Chains A and B, each alone.
Chain A
Amino acid sequence: MSSSSNGRGRASTGAYDGTYGGASALMSDPFDYLPDLAPLRPAAQAGDWPAVRAFFMGLDSAEKVSYASGLLSDIAGVEGFLERAVAELPGDPLPRTLLARRYISIGWDIRSGARAKHVSRDQFDRFHAWLRKAEQLLIEVCAEQPAYAPAWTARLITARGLELGQAEARRRYDRLSAHHPHHHRAQIQLLQQVCPKWSGSWEDAHGFARECASAAPDGSVAGALVAEAHIEHWLDLDSGADAAYMRGLPVRDDLRFAAQVSVLHRDHVPGWDTVGAHSTFAMAFSIGGHFADAAPHFAALGNRVNESPWCYLPDWRGQFTKFRKNALATL
């Protein structure tokens, strides 16, 4: 691991120049802040499968396919043309995986993001029915193409929603990581699974985040998982204890180290997950009051921000601009 000052110095090239707008000027939609994604949304909204397919075929990594398939799954109505594409291309893993991701999103919208006790029996039944439809498509794809990371990534979501258990989720991740050892979209999914809210434990959650971060090459976004685990932990603590947790020096040092080996490292190459990683670090440092540590992340973000995990905060846009102001004032 290299010295921190280098990494930090380079990452703060987008230093505050006083031109950021307020909360309303924030760009939180990846379709807005990642120009590479531009062709996908209009093609999807127009039901133009050839264009959607061409977009995905043009992506140069499985990471990007996993990332974009998540975004596509949130666009209403895409299941129509995806179902037709699946029928036309029965041997192609892409349409089945995209359709499965869409089914998962439809199901999760029915379930809602609420804790399980606030979800009705009927909601659960319909949620599970959509997830089963998705899962059965994905079983086929993974059986045919065991190295196809986007399908395994989706199967981590179905495993969680269908409550197939920690061991099964981990098996899926292991099958995926045998081919793709640092697949960030899958790591984000498994981290959710190993948190106590999905029957995991804090030991597992922090352990998995550290395992990913230390196994990844310098400059990888995997370090953001360490910050994400701390944010999940903070969210679970009672008021008072939560703030103390994030203010504590052990958490701060853990975050600093993770940031230095990932997005603040000189080897970090900005990619689609960079905004997400900076967003996570910026929030983790800010809620602990470590504004000087948050500053390089806010500086790198500018007006861009990923909704997750900021949406855990009430009036998160307002909080973001307030924290950003505090952080950038330390520069």
Chain B
Amino acid sequence: MTTQPHTDGGPSAAHTVTDTDLAALDGLISHTTTQGVPTLYAPRPGEITAGLFFRVGRADETLATAGITHLVEHLALHRLGLSDLHYNGATANTYTLFHVTGSEDEVVSYLNSVCAALRDLPLARLETEKEILRTEAAGRSGGPGSQLPLWRYGAQSYGLTSYSELGTWGLTADQVRHWAQTRFTRDNAVLWLTSDSVPAGLDLTLPAGTRRPAPAATSALPVTPAYIHGDDGHVVFTSVLRRSTAASVFADVLGRALFQDLRQEGGYSYSAEADYTPRDAEHATLTAYADALPKKQDAVVGGFVDTLARLRAGRIEQSELDSARGKILKRYDSPDLGASSLPSYALNLLLGHRLLSPEQHRAELNAVTLADLREVAREAWSTGLLQVPGRGADWAGFEPAPQYSQAAVVGTRHQSLEDDRITLVIGDEGVSLVTPRGPVTVRHDACAVMTTRPDGARSLTGTDGFCVSVEPTLYRGVTPERIAAVDASVPAAAVVPLPARDPQQIPRPRERTSAPQSSGGGRSTWAWTLGLWLVGSIAAIWSLLSAAVTADELGAADPEWDAVVGVWVLALPLLLVTWQLHRSRQRRRR
């Protein structure tokens, strides 16, 4: 039902988890299957916490269906709405998690209810849940680095988290049902429970399906390290690392190094931290962040650049490695190690990442060297994307991320009614906005979404993240026929109809820009206009009189030429003053 996103490579090579891998967990975590769903469990005193993972998330969607996974999650939980149980659902990039804490009976009834709902979604609720998701989105603000995924991946795969859930406008019941039946299957799930046995009475009956590997990453960045401009007060750096024990240690070393440099030594930042989050079976996302006072943000960028350079140069103290390693090793001091490790083992099983026993992981941690950290630092740099406030980061070796498309399409040309230098092109292959600094193009065959308005407006977003808005009121000659031509070319799966806009929301052209001088910035000219009228009228009347005198004298037998010259000499200064007033008034208007 949905077009698979265009990718620049095959699906990630997920490791197939076998019983041999699970054997690594013997003595710590037990495993079985429940109605075909792989199940991990380990005891912990007190209430039971359980989580049901599905290998589907935002990165599996398209921009036109964005939010479909979240919708399924909401619909699956709807029936539990009024219970007092401590439960929730979460939709991430590559997984959806239903989790609960309670007595055995409560956990059983929650999980049974979720699976029953997934088998038969309460689709009568669809429009209401769509509305709820739109409301939820309106109240959610993106964090400081929320635009980075779209610049790295485009409007597809892992870039979709930068966008709103557009699917909440147009998704049909059939689409949502199909998504649940193909993604929320027993073969695409893993259950974990903090319990010494799998409770009787669990009914996780789900349709059969296949384990879907995490989607392959797309790329919208031709060159890395790259940078983009962001809001004042925030510096964010992300990179993609191969998953490894050394890489996870490096993230901690980087976080501490930034804190030491930017907060403790420099005093430029309050927060300075780094995070390592697995993206798929093979790769993880490293995110480093520092805030800054506006007056200090240049220094934060400088300190960030220098800290990355220091780690890349391998000037890392043994104590930095030891502290980071110690922090990770401390997790093994947990009294209920098996139970507390369940979510991460379950997620690795789901994604197809290798499972390491605590002993194996400890051995790997102890084997990490300073040279390993330097290697990770270099990898982090080479795949880096930096978001900086204010000035760019080209001085530090970052390339600007592309601001314009490679080329414009050929088609009918529609000049902007606001700015002569801008032209909209509507062609058979796509649409382009041609600006003096470069074109922005969305090709129909790489169109992630086209939103439509009843007033004729269209907004197209390409899979590379570039966006062109076709507003018929803002360009010359964008007739209903041209809009129909766009509609006919964009694949139906990419179309999202939006409701009618308030007439006030339909844009109207601002005053045009043709010359470099700005319009509307002129000074008051009423006094000059009045003066021009007064002097101009006297000059006109005198000139008429002079003309009459001239004509009269021309007709006379003996013209009095000195009188003719006299009246014209008197007219001249009047005409001159009129001309000067006119000129001054024009100047003031510019």
Contacts and interface: CB of A to CB of B under 8 A. Distances in A.
B306 A164 contact: no
B400 to A, nearest CB: 12
A143 B314 CA distance: 9
A167 B296 contact: yes
A131 B391 CA distance: 15
The 6 closest A-B CB pairs, nearest first, are A165-B298, A143-B309, A167-B299, A168-B298, A171-B299, A143-B313
Contacts of B491: none
A162 B315 contact: no
A146 B306 CA distance: 10
B577 to A, nearest CB: 37
A132 B394 CA distance: 8
Interface stretch (A6-14, A26-34, A97-105, A134-142): A134-142
B150 to A, nearest CB: 27
B299 A140 contact: no
Contacts of A146: 310, 315
Interface residues of B, number: 23
A163 interface: yes
Contacts of B302: 159, 164, 168, 171-172
Given A139-B306, A159-B302, A171-B299, 4 more contacts: A132-B395, A136-B395, A143-B306, A166-B298
B299 A139 contact: no
A143 B299 contact: no
A164 B395 contact: yes
B262 to A, nearest CB: 10
Interface in A126-166: 128, 131-132, 135-136, 139-140, 142-144, 146, 158-159, 162-166
Among A128, A165, A172: residue with most chain B CB under 10 A:
A165
A93 B309 CA distance: 15
B144 interface: no
A168 to B, nearest CB: 4
Given A171-B266, A171-B299, A158 B309 contact: no
A162 B391 CA distance: 10
Interface string A269-307: 000000000000000000000000000000000000000
A135 B396 contact: yes
Interface in B286-301: 295-299, 301
A167 B295 contact: yes
B298 A144 contact: no
Interface of B: 266, 268, 295-299, 301-303, 305-306, 309-310, 312-313, 315, 390-391, 394-397
A142 B306 contact: yes
Contacts of B268: 167, 171
A203 to B, nearest CB: 15
A165 B396 contact: no
Contacts of B313: 140, 143-144
A166 B302 CA distance: 11
Interface string A105-143: 000000000000000000000001001100110011011
A158 B395 contact: yes
Given A166-B298, A167-B299, A168-B299, A136 B396 contact: yes
A247 to B, nearest CB: 36
A139 B390 contact: no
19 contacts: A135-B395, A135-B396, A139-B309, A143-B312, A143-B313, A144-B313, A146-B310, A146-B315, A158-B395, A165-B299, A165-B390, A166-B298, A167-B268, A167-B295, A167-B298, A167-B299, A171-B268, A174-B266, A175-B306
Nearest to B295: A167
Contact of B315 (A132, A144, A166): A144
Nearest to B296: A167
Contacts of A172: 302
Contacts of A233: none
A164 B309 contact: no
Nearest to B311: A143
Among A140, A143, A146: residue with most chain B CB under 10 A:
A143
A170 interface: yes
Contacts of A136: 395-397
Given A136-B396, A165-B298, A171 B303 contact: yes
B309 A168 contact: no
Nearest to B393: A164
B162 to A, nearest CB: 28
A162 B397 CA distance: 13
A103 to B, nearest CB: 13
A139 B225 CA distance: 15
B296 A143 contact: no
Contacts of B391: 163-165
B370 to A, nearest CB: 14
Contacts of A165: 298-299, 390-391
Nearest to A136: B397
Contacts of A159: 302
